Amino acid sequence: MVMSDMESAPAAPARIAGVDEKILAERAREAASTRRDVLFDVSRLTVSYADVPALKGVSLEIYKNFVTAFIGPSGCGKSTFIRCFNRMNDLIPSANVDGTILYHGIDLYGPEVDSVEVRKRIGMVFQKPNPFPKSIYDNVAFGPRVLGWKKDLDARVERALRHAALWDEVKNRLKASAYSLSGGQQQRLCIARCLAVEPDVLLMDEPASALDPISTTAIEDLMHELKREYTIVIVTHNMQQAARVADMTAFFSVEVDEEQDRRTGVLVEYDATPTIFTNPGDKRTEDYVTGRFG
């Protein structure tokens, strides 16, 4: 009798822990933040250079307001892949992209899509900071000026610099050359330059690999802040960086065809970051993240 009573009894926590409105609100917020809204829907994507596939048959979804990391050994196609998201591969004449990438449900490679508009909405930050040989202010104002956004330019520049966590360090020397900044500051300036044109997505290709640990931490903290408003996709060689910053992690590897002497990148596994780093589903992922690769 006792047993059946206990089994049908309501869960104990309501009586033991009580119901705290704050906790419920916090849970609702967490549930909302972990909701997955698909931003990019990639389907059977293959990228070839001069008809040689560099990356083959990739399908995955990138979620809105998530940080998504691509990791994998050199030559696995992760940089090739991230460049597909803002059509940077268009700039390489021999590159060919097969398959589809839907962005907000629209085919990014559709005939009516303007690649310049794509790059405005989907900004990119590269491995080495590449500020223009101009002042700090002019670097950030460059994009808005090109777009003809002349109104409230000062406020726009300030907002972008604040979002990039650089404002306090440069507010008194906006007219100084961008080259007077440290490497880490230059990288954050490049992020501010992206943000000034109000993008939707930030693509980052090894954004911290040329930076010292302090600047790296600053960039990582920034990613954490920025994902409230933007969707971030990052390529990194640093697995611990992926573990620290990413919500989702995709592991790419290389398939070697000895006969044709070809190396092709493939997506091995894509999952929530904690899963990739505690209990990956694929042996190749396990070998890579534990350092037993090769």
Strand partners, 75: none
- Helix, strand, coil shares of the chain, percent, nearest 5, are 40, 25, 35
Segment interacting with other proteins (CB under 8 A) among 27-35, 36-44, 67-75, 282-290: 282-290
CB-based contacts of 3, cutoff 8 Å, min separation 6: none
280 binds other proteins (CB under 8 A): yes
291 binds other proteins (CB under 8 A): yes
Does position 239 interact with other proteins (CB under 8 A)? The reply is yes
Number of neighbouring beta carbons within 10 Å of residue 17: 9
- The rounded distance, in Å, linking the Cα atoms of 78 and 49 is 14
CB of 239 to other proteins, least distance (A): 8
Q: Render 236-281 in DSSP notation, one character per residue.
A: -S-HHHHHHH-SEEEEEEEEEETTTTEEEEEEEEEEEHHHHHHS-S
The reply to whether 292 sits near other proteins by the rule CB under 8 A is yes
The size of the interface with other proteins (CB under 8 A), counted in residues, is: 17
String of contacts with other proteins for each residue 192-231, x by CB under 8 A: ----------------------------------------
Three-state DSSP state, 223 = helix
The CB-of-284 to other proteins minimum distance in angstroms stands at 12
Interface with other proteins (CB under 8 A), residue from 38, 146, 240, 255: 240
- CA pair distance 251, 177, nearest whole angstrom: 39
3 vs 116, beta carbon nearer other proteins: 3
71 binds other proteins (CB under 8 A): no
Cα R_g (the chain), whole angstroms: 22
Please select the residue that binds other proteins; options are 161, 243, 267, 268, rule is CB under 8 A: 243
Q: Which helix (H) or strand (E) holds 55?
A: strand 52-63
CB-nearer residue toward other proteins: 3 or 14: 3
Least distance between other proteins and beta carbon 287 (Å): 9
Kindly list the residues in this chain that would bind other proteins in the complex (CB under 8 A): 2-3, 6-7, 239-240, 243, 277-280, 285-286, 289-292
